[in-house]
Structure formats: C-alpha cells, structure tokens
Chain A
Amino acid sequence: MAGERRTDAKLVESETTETDAAAGAAVGLSAVLFALAVAALFERVSLTGSLFGVGTVTLLGGLLTALGVAVVAFGVGSRLGYVETDPDRSVGLVAGLGAALPWVVVGGSAASQTLGLGTAVGVVAGVAAGGAAFALTVLPCEDLGSTLPLGCLLALTGLVFLSGVIGPEWVWELGWTQQAAITAEFLIPASTLFAALYGGWASAKAYGGFGARGRHMGAYVLVYLNALSIVAFLLILVAYVAVQGLPGLLNGAELGLGSGPQTTVLGASVALPVSVPFVMNGVALFNDFQGVLPAIVGTVWLVVGAVVLAVPLGVGAALFLTEYAERGRFTQVVEVATNGLWSTPSIVFGLFGFAFLVPRFGNGKSLLSGMITLGFMLLPLVVITSREAMLSVPDEYRDASAALGVSKWQTIRSVVLPAALPGVVTGVILGVGRIAGETAPILLTMAGGTFLPGSQTVDVLGSFQFTTAPPFVANPALMEATSALPYQLYALISAGVGASSNVGNADEFRWATALVLLVVVLSFYAIGIATRYYFRRRLRHT
C-alpha cells in the first residue's frame, strides 16, 4: 500500500491540509506541555493548585491524554490511508531503542512498586514491556511504529494523572539505608517533560508526513529545542545572578559630582562622579558599607602576572613549532604535552603549585605562586590558539617575504607575527577569562583571608625594593597571601553565615560577590569576542 502511494507522491508538497494543521497543533501542544513541565519543575506552577480553573495535575493529565490520542490517530490514519503520507518500511533501531527505554521504566516500576510484585518480577516486566515496545516500533511500517508505542505511553501517563493513581501527594519511599524518596513534585513534571519531548517528536514526524521528510522534521524539532534551551539557560543564569546580586552591589551606591573617592588622574586629584562602596571598599569595622576591593585588585594582579608569564612563553613556543621546527617526533611530543596540559584538572595545577612553587617562595602562600600557577594553566591555551593563528597565515606571505631576500627571523617578525596577531590576541583574552574565574589552583597556592580591609589592597608596583642579601630584589606584596574574587566567593560559601556576620546582610554580600565575579569574567569574554568580530570584519573589507 505504501508502495502504491509512493508512486503518486508529489514532487512539491506546498499546500496545507487539515492534517498538517492538526499535526502542527499537536506540536504546539507538546511545546505548551514542555513549558508547563519546566514551570512546575521549578515550582513556578503549583501542582496542588489549579490552572484555568482545573487542577494542575488533572490539566497535565488531560493534555497528555489528548496528545497521546492525537499521535496514535495520525499513525492509524496514515496506515489506513485517510491521511496522505510517505512512510518508510521501518523506523530504525535508534528510534526503537528510544521508544523502548521509557517502557522499560514504566513496566518495571509498575510491576515492582504499584502492583508490589518485587524487584525480580519488576525487572522481567520492564524487559517485557520494553521488548514489546521495541518490537512494536521496529517491526510495523514507519507510520505505525513511530506513533503507536509513544502515543500509548503518552495516553497512559495522562490517564495515570487523570485517575489520581499518581496525585500531588504521591510518594515512593525507596527504602534505602540513606533515606530518599521520589515525590510527585518531581515525578509529575519530569515525566510530563519527557512525554512532551516524545509527543513533539512523533507529531513533528506526522507533520512531515513520515518518511525522510518526517524524520527530518522530527529531528529538527529536537535539535532546535536543544539549541534554544542552551541559550535560554545561559540568559536565565546570568539574569538570575544579576537580579540576586544587584541589591548588594548597589548598597549605598551614589551618583553625582564629587560623591566618589579621591583618585589621581594625570597628576591631578579628582573625585570620581560615582560611588559604589561594594567595589571601592574593603571590610572594616567602621565602614558604612563593606566591599570587596582587595579581592578585585587581587584578581587583576593574578591575571596580569599570569599573562606576563604565559603569553611570551606560549607565543614563542607556537612560533618555534610552526616556523622553525620540522614536523616530526619532537613537535608531536610538544603537541601531546600541550593538549595534555590543557586538559589537566585545575586542582592538579593547584597541587603542583603547592608542592613546587610554595616551598620556593618563602614557604607560604603568595601572590607570586598564584600568578605562576595560573600562568602554567594559561600556557597551553596560548600555545594552541597562537599556533592556529600562525598556521592560518597563508604561505604566500612567507614566500613573498623570503623572495625579498630577508632572513627567516625578519620574515617572522614583520610578516607572520603581525598577520597572526588578531588570532593570538583573541585567544589570549578568552583564555584570561577562563583563568580569572578559576578557584581551585589559587586555593592551594595564594589564597589568604576572606574579609580583607581596604588597607590590605595589594600594591605590587609600589612594593619593589632592593636588599643586600640574595636575591637582592624583594617585593613583599608579591610574597604575601591575598584574596581574589573566586576564592572570596568560595570562602563566603564555606564559612557559612556565622563567620560573615560582620558584613551585615551576608546573603546579599555573597550574591553581590558572585555578580562582580561574573561581570569581571564575562567582560573578558565580551572583549575577546568583540575583538574577533572587529578583526574579522576588517579582514573581510580589505
């Protein structure tokens, strides 16, 4: 039958039929269910309450049942020839496994828990249900296979909610030594979420008329949803931290001429026109508003130190690998080592700094050890990105320069390096964003107190001094433990509320610290990405 239909399938299918509209509506219904499930999961919608005059669970159950019936109807309608579709012989093994998985869970838990038959029977029932669903998916024609098992699953879930077998008060005690239970509060939204995904996929396939186009539709719905969710997740994350952190950050903030602290700009002493005590103060007993200035300055110096160490080393190494060395054993070893360094966990860098650097710099945690540790972390990233940038410089440039009879180093200095500069700069900025937020390595190598007074803000440039004993140069600021934003946040979390009572509202203080950290780190990323755009557009224009 399917073969017959395929012969008169149209090359262009543009007109919208009622079936398409119905399938489109089913996709929309899945989207609504998905949104409801997410809202219920995060307790934006109460399960015990009601929506549009209907109890939430009843509403979810009703919608799920409707969606399930619709999905089955598409399949059966297509099979019986009421709907014009173009199904393949079979759905395929991947979709079969996808459909079998929820049935294993449903069959197993229904037999072992709802009916109380024990674990062994539960496993058998789960495998049986999953096997049946798998066979039902894979064996029949594609239109039935991709709708029947899933539609039944949706309808069953809906009916379970409608009939009140699983109501808002439902709890499944797992009976484990460490007490845990699965509550309706979690189960209902979570199962609705997955059911909505399956329903959306099946109805999108129906919308596409099954076959290659249907599979294309079904897959695209999921892929687009995934991409959208990732972006939504990022936005929600940033917005949440911003909303929570702003009150603490703007505590006592003032805007107006002369309201800020005195600073020296070009030799003249001026008062800044804004005052944000949270980022301009330290912590002191008589401060009106407490702040995190020492931690911000600590972070800045850490980043500066790491960049000063890692960028020349990394660019030099990349230069050697791309311009001087012949491809062979040596370059291979360096590549493996760089990539290995790149994936080494940050806490291992911390341990290394603790064992290697700390004993060599006065046996105590110090800013210098932190700088070098972070520099080592940054190094592989600089090597990798600089290498990519140098490799993408066309060989014609080098040949043209060499044809002028200049030496290799002159070619590198005046042709390769300038051409690779944009890539190197972007890579370095992005890398810096990454290390600026690292906590683990500085935890073991440089982190000192949590609530530093403003007077302990590090001043590296002003602390250089010469001594008579070797090593003749000393810088106490580099040799002292200090604070940095990520560490400050960690210490605030692990210290609990009691220890931080001297900052007034501890919760506000913490969120504000998180916000400042996020702003600092993300601004590196923003600058990096903007630089890349700038250079790319300039390249396109020239």
Chain B
Amino acid sequence: MAPVTDALNGRVRGALTARLRRLRGFVDDTDPPALAIVAAMTLSLFATLVGFLAVSDLTIVPFVAFATSTAIGWVLYQEETAYTIALMMTVSTILILGLIIVFIFRESVPVIRYESATAFGVTVPGLRMFIQPNWDAVSPPIRYSMVPMIHGTVMVTLIASVVAAPLGVSAALFLSEIAPPTVREVIKPGVEILAGVPSIVYGFIGFTVLGPWASDQFQTTGQGSYLFVGIVVGLMALPTVVSVAEDALSSVPESMKSGSLAMGTTDWQTMTSITLPAAFSGVSAAVLLGVGRAIGETMAATVMLRGVPRLTEPLVNVFYGQETLTSIIARNYGEADGLQMDALFVAGVILFVTVLVISIGAQYIEWRMHERLGGEI
C-alpha cells in the first residue's frame, strides 16, 4: 500500500511542480502591469462567482470590477487579456458540469436520508427507494420508490434501441458508403432536420394520433403504452445514431476499402468484412449515444404516458405505459415541494449519472478506435 501512495504522492507533487514552474514562467515573461490586470480580472471574476453562489445583492460590484479590468486590459495588453479570457471560458465549461453535479446531488440528500433501509444490519441511505415498488406522496406511509420509473425507463429505452440501432446503422451505411452524392445531399440534411423536430411535437402527435389508435388496436383501458413511447423515442434517437455512426464509418481509411474492392469483392462484402468491423467500436459508440438520448427524452414520454407511478402487470406488459424517470419530473415539479421535490431530484441524479457514464464510455470507445486506426482525433 505504502509504495503505491508514495508513487501517487510523487506524481501529484510532480504535476504540481510542473504547474508551478509554468506559472512562474508566465509571471516572469509577462510585464508587471499586464500581470496586475490579469490578476485583477481573475480575482474579481472569482469574487463574482462567490457572490453569486452566496446569493448576494452585491455581486454586481466585483462584476463591474471584472468588466472594467477586462476593458482596460483589452486596450493596453490585448494578448494577455485574450488568453486569460479564453482560459476562463474553458474553465467555465468544467465549472458548469461541476455545479450541476453539486446542486442536483445536494437537493436530493434529504429524501435519500428519509428512505434509509437496513440491509444485513447496516443502515443504507436511500436503499428503500430501490427495494419496494411503492410511490405514494399523499397518504401515509409516504414512500418515494424509484423502481416503477426505472422499470419504465428501461422498457422505453429497450424498445427505442431496437428501433434506433438497426435503422440508424443501416442509414449511416447508406449515407457513408452507398448513396450517390446527389442522393446523399438530400438525405443528410433530412436526417439533420429530423433531429430538429421538437420533442413536444412528437409527443403531441403521439398523444392525439398514436395514443387513441394504439389503445383501440390493443384493446387497453385508456391510452399510453411503453411500446409506442419507445417507438417514438427510438425515432427521436435515430438522427444521433445516424450522424455519429456515419462519422465512424467515414473515418475508416479509404485505402482499406479500396484494397478490399481490388480483390474483386462486391461493395456489400467490403462493408460487412472491412468497413463495419473496422468501425465497429465507433458504431457501437453511436448506438450507446443513441441509448443515452433515449434515456433522457422527456416531453414525448410525459405527454404520452399515463402519469401513474406503478409497475405494469405483468412486468412485460408493454401495452401500458405508467411513468419514466424523466416524465415524473416534468409532470410533478409543479405541485411538488419538500421531500417529493427532493425525490424528483433523485430521479434527476439517476438520469444524470447513467447518461454521463454512457457518454464517457462512448468517448472511450471512440478514442480507442481512433488510436487503432491511427487517424488524427
């Protein structure tokens, strides 16, 4: 253990000294007045952030200071000021992700405490949300179980993937390998536009047209089924799969494809035995990202589902749609307060963590593919 921590300490220290050295280099290389301006900008922006986080009325004061110092810096030392601003903007993207994590986790703490349960003699906070299927925010015992919503999200996502993955990969193959240029110029924008149709419009059509039709076809009581929400969400995830998979397919070096074609194979043989295997990881990353989109899809699910958080009976009954993790937030935020609102944040945390893991996984897969194909990233 000790050598490991020592090695880790050593690396951290090494990284820190490298940073410090670079900072010192920057300080040495820069004019003192420019340095003062940069320091003023950094400090005042930091103060603005602190003031904003503390909900202070006086936040405007450091902000004005920041604006003034930036203006002065822009006139006198444009080079350094531009660099500093760009750096701050970069940091802000990480900061936003950090803030999202902090705030949605913080809001969900009370209900996680409330829903503690004992397993093997150990009290685990939040466990009761996952071991019983009862969501009841009104009559005691008040319970906020996530099980029905997780079930709903899993059902919808599975159906959506069955729709989006084969259709999306096939459309990507078409766009990147098969289509003649003129056809491609028509279909590619078409797919992009498909991505732009707002989810609430899909939901509206699903609610007014698909819902009554499905309840008639399958003789269900009332409308709203996981099956059709899944299909609609799958169609919405389709453009994501198509565009990412197309990127992956076209990043396969042309020389590999022509090498295969020179052996006298058909185009389709080249696709199945060269292009698809070579781009396999990229294509699976595309499917993963599509799954991520499907998990996070909100409005279509909200208007098409029934809004009663319970499990369907039996569990595989896709002809009934109760509630998903996303739709419960959109439906209940209005009347919710206290613990119920916090429970909605728990649903948000589950969504956020799942999708973030999927996103990082997909990036890792894509990165591996680029490494293997030796292309530039």
A178 & B268 in contact (Cβ 8 Å cutoff): no
A356 & B200 in contact (Cβ 8 Å cutoff): no
- A333 located at the interface, meaning its Cβ lies under 8 Å from any Cβ of chain B in the complex: yes
* Residues on B with beta carbons closer than 8 Å to the beta carbon of A177: 313-314, 317
- Among the stretches B39-47, B125-133, B288-296, the one at the interface with A is B288-296
* Identity of the chain B residue whose Cβ is nearest the Cβ of A177 in the assembled complex: B313
- In whole angstroms, what is the CA distance A360 to B51 when docked? 10
* Residues on A with beta carbons closer than 8 Å to the beta carbon of B220: 178-180
- B267 located at the interface, meaning its Cβ lies under 8 Å from any Cβ of chain A in the complex: yes
* Identity of the chain B residue whose Cβ is nearest the Cβ of A359 in the assembled complex: B55
B198 & A313 in contact (Cβ 8 Å cutoff): no
Contact with B along A48-68 (1 / 0, CB 8 A): 000000000000000000000
- B60 located at the interface, meaning its Cβ lies under 8 Å from any Cβ of chain A in the complex: yes
Q: How far is the CB of B199 from chain A (nearest CB, A)?
A: 7
* Residues on B with beta carbons closer than 8 Å to the beta carbon of A223: 170, 173-174, 178
- In whole angstroms, what is the CA distance A331 to B167 when docked? 34
- In whole angstroms, what is the CA distance A359 to B358 when docked? 31
Complex interface residues of chain A between 165 and 193 (CB less than 8 A to chain B)? 171, 174, 176-183, 185-186
**Contact partner, A379, options B93, B104, B171, Cβ 8 Å:** B93
- In whole angstroms, what is the CA distance A164 to B90 when docked? 68
- A535 located at the interface, meaning its Cβ lies under 8 Å from any Cβ of chain B in the complex: no
* Residues on B with beta carbons closer than 8 Å to the beta carbon of A219: 268
Q: How far is the CB of A262 from chain B (nearest CB, A)?
A: 32
Q: How far is the CB of B3 from chain A (nearest CB, A)?
A: 23
A337 & B97 in contact (Cβ 8 Å cutoff): yes
**Contact partner, B104, options A314, A323, A348, A380, Cβ 8 Å:** A348
- B281 located at the interface, meaning its Cβ lies under 8 Å from any Cβ of chain A in the complex: no
Q: How far is the CB of A125 from chain B (nearest CB, A)?
A: 19
* Residues on A with beta carbons closer than 8 Å to the beta carbon of B195: 434
* Residues on A with beta carbons closer than 8 Å to the beta carbon of B335: none
- B38 located at the interface, meaning its Cβ lies under 8 Å from any Cβ of chain A in the complex: no
B201 & A493 in contact (Cβ 8 Å cutoff): no
Query: With A341-B97, A343-B296 as given contacts, are A517 and B200 in contact (CB-CB < 8 Å)?
Result: yes
- B371 located at the interface, meaning its Cβ lies under 8 Å from any Cβ of chain A in the complex: no
A176 & B314 in contact (Cβ 8 Å cutoff): yes
- B298 located at the interface, meaning its Cβ lies under 8 Å from any Cβ of chain A in the complex: yes
Q: How far is the CB of A385 from chain B (nearest CB, A)?
A: 12
* Identity of the chain A residue whose Cβ is nearest the Cβ of B354 in the assembled complex: A345
Contact with A along B202-240 (1 / 0, CB 8 A): 011101100001001111110000000000000100100
- B303 located at the interface, meaning its Cβ lies under 8 Å from any Cβ of chain A in the complex: yes
| A interface SS class | helix
Q: How far is the CB of B16 from chain A (nearest CB, A)?
A: 13
* Residues on A with beta carbons closer than 8 Å to the beta carbon of B96: 341, 376, 379
Q: How many residues on A have C-beta within 8 angstroms of the other chain's C-beta atoms?
A: 106
- Among the stretches B113-121, B143-151, B343-351, the one at the interface with A is B343-351
- B87 located at the interface, meaning its Cβ lies under 8 Å from any Cβ of chain A in the complex: yes
- Among the stretches B29-37, B65-73, B77-85, B251-259, the one at the interface with A is B77-85
Q: How far is the CB of B264 from chain A (nearest CB, A)?
A: 9
A521 & B198 in contact (Cβ 8 Å cutoff): yes
* Identity of the chain B residue whose Cβ is nearest the Cβ of A487 in the assembled complex: B200
Query: With A213-B266, A234-B193, A517-B201 as given contacts, are A320 and B86 in contact (CB-CB < 8 Å)?
Result: yes
| B interface SS class | helix
- B260 located at the interface, meaning its Cβ lies under 8 Å from any Cβ of chain A in the complex: no
Query: With A237-B205, A376-B96 as given contacts, are A227 and B329 in contact (CB-CB < 8 Å)?
Result: no
B93 & A344 in contact (Cβ 8 Å cutoff): no
B298 & A334 in contact (Cβ 8 Å cutoff): no
A472 & B60 in contact (Cβ 8 Å cutoff): yes
- In whole angstroms, what is the CA distance A242 to B89 when docked? 42
- In whole angstroms, what is the CA distance A222 to B178 when docked? 12
Query: With A223-B174, A340-B97 as given contacts, are A355 and B107 in contact (CB-CB < 8 Å)?
Result: yes
Q: How far is the CB of A303 from chain B (nearest CB, A)?
A: 13
* Residues on B with beta carbons closer than 8 Å to the beta carbon of A336: 360, 363
Query: With A356-B99, A525-B193 as given contacts, are A230 and B238 in contact (CB-CB < 8 Å)?
Result: yes
Q: How far is the CB of B259 from chain A (nearest CB, A)?
A: 17
* Identity of the chain B residue whose Cβ is nearest the Cβ of A173 in the assembled complex: B219
- In whole angstroms, what is the CA distance A443 to B90 when docked? 28
B83 & A348 in contact (Cβ 8 Å cutoff): no
- B274 located at the interface, meaning its Cβ lies under 8 Å from any Cβ of chain A in the complex: no
- B94 located at the interface, meaning its Cβ lies under 8 Å from any Cβ of chain A in the complex: yes
**Contact partner, A355, options B104, B207, B235, Cβ 8 Å:** B104
**Contact partner, A179, options B92, B173, B219, B267, Cβ 8 Å:** B219
A486 & B198 in contact (Cβ 8 Å cutoff): yes
* Residues on A with beta carbons closer than 8 Å to the beta carbon of B266: 212-213, 215-216
Q: How far is the CB of B38 from chain A (nearest CB, A)?
A: 14
B196 & A437 in contact (Cβ 8 Å cutoff): yes
Contact with B along A341-352 (1 / 0, CB 8 A): 111111111111
A343 & B103 in contact (Cβ 8 Å cutoff): no
- In whole angstroms, what is the CA distance A524 to B348 when docked? 30
A440 & B299 in contact (Cβ 8 Å cutoff): yes
A517 & B198 in contact (Cβ 8 Å cutoff): yes
Query: With A226-B174, A360-B55 as given contacts, are A316 and B200 in contact (CB-CB < 8 Å)?
Result: no
**Contact partner, A183, options B175, B219, B330, Cβ 8 Å:** B219
Contact with A along B126-142 (1 / 0, CB 8 A): 00000000000000000
- A407 located at the interface, meaning its Cβ lies under 8 Å from any Cβ of chain B in the complex: yes
- B59 located at the interface, meaning its Cβ lies under 8 Å from any Cβ of chain A in the complex: yes
- B189 located at the interface, meaning its Cβ lies under 8 Å from any Cβ of chain A in the complex: yes
**Contact partner, B178, options A181, A220, A408, Cβ 8 Å:** A220
B221 & A313 in contact (Cβ 8 Å cutoff): no
> Taking beta carbons and an 8 Å cutoff, which residues of B are in contact with A?
52, 55, 57-61, 78-79, 82-83, 85-90, 92-94, 96-97, 99-100, 103-104, 106-107, 167, 170-171, 173-175, 178-179, 186-187, 189-201, 203-205, 207-208, 213, 216-221, 235, 238, 265-269, 289, 292-293, 295-299, 302-303, 312-314, 317, 319-320, 326, 329-330, 333, 344-345, 348, 351-352, 355-356, 358-360, 363
Between A and B, 22 residue pairs with Cβ closer than 8 Å are A178-B320, A179-B221, A185-B217, A216-B269, A230-B238, A231-B187, A317-B92, A320-B83, A324-B86, A334-B93, A336-B363, A338-B93, A344-B356, A355-B103, A409-B83, A437-B197, A440-B199, A444-B329, A472-B60, A490-B299, A522-B196, A525-B193
| Nearest 8 Cβ contacts at the A-B interface | A345-B296, A437-B198, A316-B89, A320-B86, A471-B60, A177-B313, A180-B319, A216-B268
